[in-house]
Amino acid sequence: MKKIGIFLILTVIWFRSSGQENKNENLVENQNVISSDTNDNPKVVIGNNLLSVEEGKDAVKVRLGDRGLNILETLEGSKVKFERYTNDDLLYQEDEKDKKSSSSKFRKGFKGHWAGIEFGFNNYLTAGNSQVMPADIYYMTLHSSKSNNFNLNFSQLSLGFTRHIGIVTGLGFNWNNYRFDGNNNIVKGANGIIEELDPGSILEKSKLTTVYLTLPLVLEMQIPVDNHHLNIGGGFIGAIKTGSHTKMVFQDGDKVKSNGDFSLNLIRCGLTARIGYGNFQIYATNYMTPLFKTGKGPGGYNLYPFEIGFAFTSRD
């Protein structure tokens, strides 16, 4: 083979072993150069396999430290084998096709945590991050222990960077029940501004319900523990509203349900954090988009919803 070919091969090996270059460059000055040149097998060795080039009849072997190339000339053309060494022993050998296949299989091994069901509690905060409502919209105060959410995450796509790190996305439905603590409900008033609704009678319960289609984008890291994984994730959740209604249940058993948009934001986006083990997760989501359209909220205030709960996923 031509010398220019060997030069190019050496260049490839040099860049593939850049992590080892700094370690070895100071050693070259103190190493011996051994060369042999026969008609059948020319060979150059620098140091103790620091760098070696050997040309055979049908192959060229180049080694730099613990990495090497074996270029075979066949009837079908040139084939390249990548090699790793431990001292003088060949550790393994693979061609470029195997290398890509192995890398692809490694990435496909990543499976995130999204698909499944989630149960939790929801509430909202004022712009000052308080759950205490201003006096003029005190009717928006919620019964915290009875304000809950249910999520059905029915679709998942995992995009792995490695076997244990990747991006998780998918689709789901998010139901939020905001249970009012007072004897009241809400109504869309003049100019779309949310106002208090006096039912005129004693209520057993009263709530606002919203339904959103959700789309997450979560970076997840998994740490193997025993036969499962400790998983930690964080990212964004976008959502589009698909329905909303209010419901009042009176003490005598009568029920009144009212469908409407209630000046709710059609699209919202939030930050989510998740941690779990195996199929079990704890999650928290804080929406940066106000529950109601800006300027249409009760008393003109912006209220920011949040959720916290636990999930059972299909992963692991």
Least confident of 29-43, 160-174, 218-232, 284-298: 29-43
Which pLDDT score is estimated for 18?
Answer: 46
CB atoms within 10 A of CB 197: 18
Which pLDDT score is estimated for 82?
Answer: 76
State pLDDT tens for residues 107-116: 568 999 999 9
State pLDDT tens for residues 238-247: 999 999 999 9
Which pLDDT score is estimated for 98?
Answer: 54
66 closest CA partner among 24, 129, 29, 31? 24
For the chain, percent of residues with pLDDT exceeding 70: 76
Q: Rounded mean pLDDT of the chain?
A: 84
Which pLDDT score is estimated for 120?
Answer: 98
Residue with tokens 């249910």: 150
